[in-house]
Chain A
Amino acid sequence: MSFKKYYLPLLFDSKYSIYPIGRIGGFGLGNLLFPYFRALCSAVRDSANLLYPHHNQFQPRNFLREMKMSSLRNYSSDFEKLGWSSISKIHSFWIYKTKNWNFEENLNNSSNIIFYGYRNHFYDLIDFRDQIRKYINFTFNSNFEIDDNYVAFHIRLGDFKLINQSVGRTNILNMMDYFTNDRNLKIIIYSDTGERSILSYLNLKVLPNNVSYSNSISPLNDIIQMSKFKYICGTPYSSFVEWSRFLAEENLKQNSFSLIDRELFRKVRISPLDWDYYA
């Protein structure tokens, strides 16, 4: 077997795909990051070359339903920032076309490997947690700082409503009440949907006192910001909020509050990291 290796973060396997131009269909950012980091960490471990991630994607179903650009589920601006650690697009295309490829199952006996799908979620990445944190911190060099009396509250609606995984409005409102009144903390909401949709879902006219909405710069930036909060609240269904917990620095001793109960968490568990409190 040749020692020269090439790893390609294909991210999502689609019938309609031209590497590295784009594809139709794809995951949300949280799930795209699994194959990306598996490819990156494996390339670092195996001294392989990392090809440009196949990130450009269009999700017409979501777009037609919501008629919003963000519903296209294209995370190109985030992935372009991560691009420094991979070979340029054109060169990657050339390597892709001139080699035979195998999937991750053949990592030990093949030189050119395609990474896609979320596989074992964070279980595949937990050993590389420090390296991933360092990489993200270096790449995004975020100056974001937040006081210890703030809670990052992640509300995922989007397609979660469709697949019946969104958390009931009462649960959310009770938790908000607990933070703002019982714990005297302030809440910042991070969401994949706009403030209006959240108000409509919660059946409110305005957000309660000490609760504000964060206007997203980019989805990955949201994940990084949420990782810096002393308190974080969300649903373990969402890989998005799990990424924030995964990236939180050890010395922050982040407190995490799950919007679902422990039993349900065990059924949907995607991370070896426990939550501190359950609904």
Chain B
Amino acid sequence: MVDKDNFTIIFDNASSAHKEGFIEHVSLNSKLRIIHLRKNIFNIHPSEEMNKDSKFNKFRYYFSTNNSINKIVKQINIELINVIQEKRKINFIYSFLDYKRLKIIYKLAKKFQENGKVINFIPYLEPIRLNDFKVPIRFLKINLSLILQKIFFKPKKIFLISSLNIFIYKFFFKSLEIHPYQQSRSYIEECKKIKIIKSRKTFRVLYVGQLVRRKNVELILKACSRLPFQTELSIFGDGNEKNKLIKIANFLTKKSNFKCVFHGFLNNDILKKKLGLYDVLVLPSKFDGFGFVVSEANYLDVYSIVSSQVGAKDIINPKTGSVFNEGSLPEFINHLNLHFIRRDFPNEF
């Protein structure tokens, strides 16, 4: 039930279908508005394309951060002034760590407070990567941002999309809640209705994502080349490592029992129809803040094997997938082998 006195403003970057579930969750207890703050509001991201039928679109406002802070604050204020007139307490849920957007939120809050409103700040943040050479700079920047938020916003609690590297946030905030990204209920129900009969001969492995170093696609090729049964690996995506990966795949497929096909970029509607044909989705990333495709696999009852550095590991349970130590080829191979045994008896296990 929506509490008429509760009002929430969600500040976000681009709109994304994968956040619809969270917005739905917030809307159960609160009236809401969604403010999108990003550089170019005309540049449509593929994930926004999926969101064109969202029931929340009428509550969304788009502002370009290319404008000055004062101008943006004024614009938002004009848009919301009538909606919040009767409200005393307002939740600000925001997903930013950068200073410009934090300053916009801060100034807007000040304006509202001058009008007698009480603002409750709740950051909704992604995991922080800690295993590459940029860690010191990133660590410094993020920590500084968190310190400033703690001083100026004084958030009582914080929302996170994953428990990955949660200890950093624990250092700053006492009350943490995990709210993984998820699609709207109607989308999930639609996925559950899709019926697909899988081939039982070849073991079909799927990767969907960018072909960049961070995604560690090479590990999938190495693992598949060492499986003792007939395997077909389908790779959907593009990136600067594509040519290198094709060369490795050509070399490995000559020597072993697996076939590898590179399909290029995959539109989400097609992904939904194709995903169910596969036995397993793999995501061995060196780091992935979340990994939306894992949710898609979950909705379609496709088993996922992800590395311990993938944020979406939180939505995996032993029935829906497994997690291996990031970078560990033996553990990754072992999970693939055990899933080969499991796949014919999904209900027994």
Which residues of chain A have a CB within 8 Å of any CB of chain B?
3-4, 40-41, 43-50, 84-88, 91, 127-128, 130-131, 134-135, 138
Q: How far is the CB of A201 from chain B (nearest CB, A)?
A: 40
Given known contacts A45-B318, A49-B324, A85 and B345 CB-to-CB distance under 8 angstroms: no
Q: How far is the CB of B202 from chain A (nearest CB, A)?
A: 14
Q: How far is the CB of A118 from chain B (nearest CB, A)?
A: 22
Given known contacts A4-B323, A43-B338, A44-B349, A138 and B330 CB-to-CB distance under 8 angstroms: no
Task: Name 8 A/B residue pairs within 8 A (Cβ), A-sorted.
Answer: A4-B325, A49-B334, A50-B338, A85-B337, A87-B331, A128-B348, A130-B345, A131-B341
CA distance A84 to B318 in the complex (A): 21
Across the two chains, which residue of chain A brings its CB closest to B331? A49
Q: How far is the CB of A9 from chain B (nearest CB, A)?
A: 13
Q: How far is the CB of A92 from chain B (nearest CB, A)?
A: 8
Residues of A within 8 A of B317 (CB): 3
CA distance A127 to B319 in the complex (A): 17
Given known contacts A4-B308, A130-B345, A138 and B334 CB-to-CB distance under 8 angstroms: no
Residues of B within 8 A of A135 (CB): 341
- Name A134's contact: one of B313, B319, B341 (CB within 8 Å): B341
Q: How far is the CB of B284 from chain A (nearest CB, A)?
A: 14
- Name B228's contact: one of A45, A84, A130 (CB within 8 Å): A84
**Mask: chain B, 316-348; 1 = CB below 8 Å from A; 0 = not:** 111101111100101101110110011011001
Given known contacts A130-B348, A134-B344, A47 and B318 CB-to-CB distance under 8 angstroms: yes
Q: How far is the CB of A79 from chain B (nearest CB, A)?
A: 15
Residues of A within 8 A of B334 (CB): 49-50, 85-87
CA distance A50 to B342 in the complex (A): 13
Residue B56 CB within 8 A of the other chain: no
Number of interface residues of B (CB under 8 A): 27
**Leading 4 A-B pairs by shortest Cβ distance:** A47-B322, A47-B318, A91-B330, A45-B349
Q: Once the chains bind, are B341 and A44 in contact (CB under 8 Å)?
A: yes
Q: How far is the CB of A175 from chain B (nearest CB, A)?
A: 36
CA distance A41 to B318 in the complex (A): 13
Residues of A within 8 A of B308 (CB): 4
Q: Once the chains bind, are A46 and B229 in contact (CB under 8 Å)?
A: no
Q: Once the chains bind, are A85 and B341 in contact (CB under 8 Å)?
A: yes
Q: Once the chains bind, are A46 and B318 in contact (CB under 8 Å)?
A: yes
CA distance A88 to B333 in the complex (A): 10
Residues of B within 8 A of A49 (CB): 324, 331, 334-335
Residues of A within 8 A of B319 (CB): 47
Residues of B within 8 A of A4 (CB): 308, 323-325
Residues of A within 8 A of B325 (CB): 4
Residues of A within 8 A of B321 (CB): 47
CA distance A135 to B343 in the complex (A): 12
Residues of B within 8 A of A131 (CB): 341-342, 344-345, 348-349
Counting chain A CB atoms within 10 Å of each CB, the highest count among B228, B229, B318 belongs to B318
CA distance A14 to B335 in the complex (A): 29
Q: How far is the CB of A4 from chain B (nearest CB, A)?
A: 5
CA distance A84 to B340 in the complex (A): 11
CA distance A85 to B336 in the complex (A): 9
Q: How far is the CB of B239 from chain A (nearest CB, A)?
A: 28
CA distance A127 to B345 in the complex (A): 11
CA distance A7 to B229 in the complex (A): 23
**Mask: chain B, 225-239; 1 = CB below 8 Å from A; 0 = not:** 000110000000000
Q: Once the chains bind, are A127 and B348 in contact (CB under 8 Å)?
A: yes
Across the two chains, which residue of chain A brings its CB closest to B322? A47
Q: Once the chains bind, are B330 and A84 in contact (CB under 8 Å)?
A: no
Q: How far is the CB of B230 from chain A (nearest CB, A)?
A: 11
Counting chain B CB atoms within 10 Å of each CB, the highest count among A3, A128, A131, A134 belongs to A3
Residues of A within 8 A of B324 (CB): 4, 49
Residues of A within 8 A of B331 (CB): 49, 87, 91
Residues of B within 8 A of A40 (CB): 341
CA distance A84 to B345 in the complex (A): 19
Q: Once the chains bind, are A138 and B316 in contact (CB under 8 Å)?
A: no
Residues of A within 8 A of B338 (CB): 43-44, 47, 50, 85
Q: How far is the CB of A6 from chain B (nearest CB, A)?
A: 9
Across the two chains, which residue of chain A brings its CB closest to B325? A4
CA distance A48 to B316 in the complex (A): 13
Residues of A within 8 A of B345 (CB): 130-131, 134
